Amino acid sequence: MFNIAIDGPAGAGKSSIAKAVSKELGIIYVDTGALYRAVGLNALRKNIDTKDVTLVTESLKDVSVDLRFVDGEQRVFLGEEDVSVDIRLPEASMAASNVSAIPSVRQFLFDLQRKIANENNCLMDGRDIGTVVLPNAQLKVFLTASPEARAKRRYDELIAKGQDVEYKDVLDDLNKRDYQDTHREIAPLKPADDSVIVDTTEMSFNEVKEKLISLAKERMN
Ligand code: DC
């Protein structure tokens, strides 16, 4: 199978770039952050402290998380419920970052990610795809940008969706998540040794897209 791994901090533009690139290449796009969000949402709904290792681990016992692809679009399921919309709420972001530092959660989601990549030509994005989940991916990209540029993009996105947010809160939230994601003991966010680092601060969407498509095409031949 042909696998592309894209990792990088929150707001680097991973998901919009990944969607466009995978569409152009005719492979599926797997957003692994959605899996951590689903586990975080499940804990929030049960009123569990999302940093409590024991309670979060217990919460995994009676839950299933799954990805289904409908017309090429990824949908995320918690049991039989499609939670694709609810996992995008701001409180689900921090919950996801919290639960993602818990080893049992990473283990719980690992096999599912591996299985999808073994069975499909896919582009998978996350934080540890190139380093842990798909160390043999044919192409690994680390997509990054300055915190301010990332916060601005996230802010514009939320405003466009009609949400009432302040730029400063978005930036604070992003810095806090970056810190947590890069400093956790298990599978911290960092570029794989053999990844191509793409800093998108000064690049347009199309420039990033074309760069990734040309890197992918080189590796496909
Ligand atoms: O990409 P995202 O913002 O939807 O991810 C939500 C959180 O999940 C993020 O703060 C870190 C975590 N995550 C992770 O630890 N490993 C992944 N492969 C993907 C996401």
Test site for ligand 1: of 6, 111, 127, 132, most ligand atoms within 8 A of the Cβ: 127
What is the per-residue pLDDT for 72? 78
Residue nearest (by alpha carbon) to ligand 1 atom 5:
33
Given the CA of residue 133, which atom of ligand 1 is nearest to it?
18
Mean pLDDT by runs of 10 across the 221 residues of the chain is 96 92 95 97 97 97 92 91 94 94 96 95 96 97 96 92 93 92 92 97 96 96 74
Which tokens is 21 given? 């690139």
**Strand, coil or helix: what is 17?**
helix
What is the per-residue pLDDT for 5? 98
**CATH (domain of 108):** 3.40.50.300
Cβ of residue 7 lying under 6 Å from some atom of ligand 1 = no
Q: Could you give the number of structural domains in the chain?
A: 1
Outline where the chain has alpha helix (H). 14-25, 33-45, 53-59, 90-99, 103-119, 147-160, 167-183, 205-220
Residue range of the domain that includes 188: 3-220
What is the per-residue pLDDT for 221? 74
Test site for ligand 1: of 41, 74, 97, most ligand atoms within 8 A of the Cβ: 97
